[in-house]
Structure 1
């Protein structure tokens, strides 16, 4: 089923240059848009927003560590282009594909935001879903790699969100450092 769904999505790749270009951007660069949105949220200078950005990044970091150090080496699932003839639109190393790092990052950020701010969270969740779909479309991941990233991200993000009140000293430290720096650098926004 995983390969059948992959074929259905990736089978469209290579037919329409404009769509391919959009999917290549989404597969590789949409996470930069998400990072820019996080940066804008941080730069509001509001403590609640800055804590939210911190916990989103913490969730992403923990999820990526678990994926990279535990799950991926244990599962060792080959990428689609290693085992099959695919329409591969972007270059990628033939390393393990489960779970998708891009999707793990994107969903981790999105879920923490969704728990705290519904509108922003839904926007980020949509960007994460598009990122995951595009990773399949361009031929570097199976749909199961994206679903695995989503599940891991949801569990870790929920855990980070539920313990965030007990971890407030961490974001408070970074917020204080940021405020000290911005008070000395007039070009950065500060409260």
Structure 2
């Protein structure tokens, strides 16, 4: 079963390389995926949200969710699983960006994107903002496949861990409010 999954993972990447990649998109998607390095895109957007009363809670919760995601993904799971990057195991796969971390499971970029998007989806004031967050996170996950640095199962796991971290951040926020009352500085 696991061998079938691993084989399918590689086949999807080769299919993307053969039928989806194109010269016009390559530099755009490579640039977008690198905006996710160290979660910088999501961190910057979250910090900007801190300056506005209506988005402050979204900014705080997403920063907390990304911190949890960093601990789970990059500090713990990647080193425990130690799955090599796809270009090391899939014959014929060409990567478009260089990744220094040799471990691929789960995708930290995708985890950060969905940790932020999961928090934003719950707390941003406008529907279009919430759905834009989800679309940007999904695009980040796809970009990791497009550039050949993650397997589909890495991206799926990163998505799940990120959403779990967003949920945990929300639960921690609720627990804090239940214990100490409304957190007023988030609303002023």
User: Is 1:77 aligned to 2:83, yes or no?
Assistant: yes
Q: Contact between 1:136 and 1:143, CA under 8 Å: does it hold in 2? A: yes
Report runs of 4+ in structure 1 exceeding 4 Å deviation.
30-33
Q: Tell me, which stretches of 5 or more residues in structure 1 are unaligned? A: 177-190
Partner of 1:42: 50
Q: Paired residue for 2:129, among 99, 120, 133?
A: 120
Deviation at 1:17, TM superposition (A): 2.1
Partner of 2:31: 25
User: Is 1:160 aligned to 2:134, yes or no?
Assistant: no
Partner of 1:103: 110
Residues 94 and 60 (structure 1), Cα distance of their counterparts in 2 relative to 1, 3 Å cut: closer
Residues 69 and 38 (structure 1), Cα distance of their counterparts in 2 relative to 1, 3 Å cut: closer
Deviation at 1:12, TM superposition (A): 4.1
CA distance in 2, matches of 1:62, 1:41: 19
CA distance in 2, matches of 1:35, 1:8: 32
Q: Contact between 1:72 and 1:99, CA under 8 Å: does it hold in 2? A: yes
Q: Tell me, which stretches of 5 or more residues in structure 2 are unaligned? A: 1-7
Secondary structure of 2:24 counterpart: helix
Partner of 2:4: none
Q: Paired residue for 2:149, among 122, 131, 140?
A: 140
Q: CA RMSD in A?
A: 2.5
Q: Contact between 1:79 and 1:141, CA under 8 Å: does it hold in 2? A: yes
CA distance in 2, matches of 1:60, 1:35: 8
TM-score, structure 2 normalization: 0.80
Secondary structure of 1:43 counterpart: coil
Deviation at 1:75, TM superposition (A): 1.2
Q: Contact between 1:11 and 1:87, CA under 8 Å: does it hold in 2? A: no
Count how many residue pairs are aligned between Structure 1 and Structure 2: 172
Deviation at 1:81, TM superposition (A): 1.0
Q: Deviations over 1:20-67 (max 9, x none)?
A: 0111012111564444432332222x1x52222111110011011011
